[in-house]
Amino acid sequence: MKFRILFTFTSFFLVALASVLPAPLENQLWKRQNNCPSLKEISDFLKEKGIGENTVFYTYPGTTEQASKYAKSECSKDFTYFMSDPKWADWMAKCASDAGSRNDLFRRTSKAMGQLTKKYAYLILPDGKDANERSLWWEEEYPELLKNRVAVLGVTPTGDKPDDWEIYEYDPAKKPPH
Q: Angle, nearest 10°, between helix axes 99-116 and 86-95?
A: 140
Report, as an integer, the average pLDDT of 20-32.
53
The burial of 108, by beta-carbon neighbours within 10 Å (0-12 exposed, 13-18 middle, 19 or more buried), is given as buried
pLDDT of residue 144: 92
* Each residue's pLDDT tens digit, 80-117: 677 778 888 888 888 867 777 778 888 898 999 999 99
**Phi and psi (nearest 5°) for 62?**
-65, 160
* Partners of 156 in the β-ladder: 166
pTM for this prediction: 0.72
pLDDT of residue 31: 47
Whether 28 shows a pLDDT value over 90: the answer reads no
pLDDT of residue 95: 81
Region of residue 128 (left: phi > 0; alpha: psi -120 to 50; beta: else):
left
Whether 24 shows a pLDDT value over 60: the answer reads no
pLDDT of residue 178: 45
Dihedral angle sign, alpha carbons of residues 94, 113, 139, 58:
negative
- What percentage of the chain exceeds 70 in pLDDT? 72
Whether 66 shows a pLDDT value over 60: the answer reads yes
